[in-house]
Amino acid sequence: MALRNILNLNDAMDAEILRKKSRPVEKIDERIRTILDDMAETLYDSGGVGLAAPQVGILRRIVVIDIGEGLIELINPEILETEGVQEDAEGCLSIPGKSGNVARPERVKLKALNRNGEEVTYEGTGLLARAFCHETDHLDGILYIDKATEIWEGEE
Ligand code: NI
């Protein structure tokens, strides 16, 4: 396993990558599993709750999340259903030193593939629902600052 460098929106070259749309993973092999392992290690090292592959310079639809309830690995995630609305502060590892208020669904149902290529579904509320939305947005080059009603200095 290896730590990966997290791209920073303040860097022009990093920003260009963060704004690109990621491609689906077509074949889940050892290379993809290594990326998952490295992303998890990088996430835990960062102290964040979620990390998307484009944030480490890989334009593939891969996400890792841990809100303190165990690691969730998502390959080619797709949001199936959303319900309700919650408005709360969020931040992003690629936008250090800032936070913003973002409205997100209160409940999110999502499907994805796991590291063995099996289809898995997750249902999350609160912070997990927020993380599902924030991280899948990254795969389309969308950042929370695009949706925030208010942005301020300081990390959440
Ligand atoms: Ni982020």
Annotated catalytic residue within 81, 123, 135, 156: 135
CA of 48 to the centre of ligand 1 (A): 9
Task: Convert the pLDDT of each residue in 82-136 to its tens digit.
Answer: 999 999 999 999 999 999 999 999 999 999 999 999 999 999 999 999 999 999 9
Average of per-residue pLDDT across 12-18: 98
pLDDT at 1: 78
Q: Which of 130, 44, 75 has its CA nearest to residue 6?
A: 44
CA of 18 to the centre of ligand 1 (A): 10
Indicate the pLDDT class of residue 156, thresholds 50, 70 and 90.
low
CA of 27 to the centre of ligand 1 (A): 25
CA of 119 to the centre of ligand 1 (A): 24
Averaged pLDDT score across all residues of the chain: 97
Is the separation of the CB atoms in 145 and 101 below 8 Å?
Answer: no
Is the separation of the CB atoms in 71 and 64 below 8 Å?
Answer: yes
User: Residue 133: how many CB atoms within 10 A of its CB?
Assistant: 23
pTM given for the model: 0.97
% of residues, the chain, pLDDT over 90? 97
3-state secondary structure 3-51: CCCCCCCCCHHHHHHHCCCCECCCCCCHHHHHHHHHHHHHHHHHCCCEE
Q: Which of 75, 82, 139, 84 has its CA nearest to residue 111?
A: 75
**Cα end-to-end span (Å), the chain:** 28
88, β-bridge pairs: 102
Rounded distance between C-alpha atoms, residue 89 and residue 49, angstroms: 13
Whether 153 is catalytic is no
Average of per-residue pLDDT across 57-61: 98
Q: Is the pLDDT confidence value at 155 over 90?
A: no
Q: Is the pLDDT confidence value at 58 over 80?
A: yes
Q: Six-digit token pair at 63?
A: 């996400």
CA of 91 to the centre of ligand 1 (A): 7
- For tokens 């889940």, the residue is 28
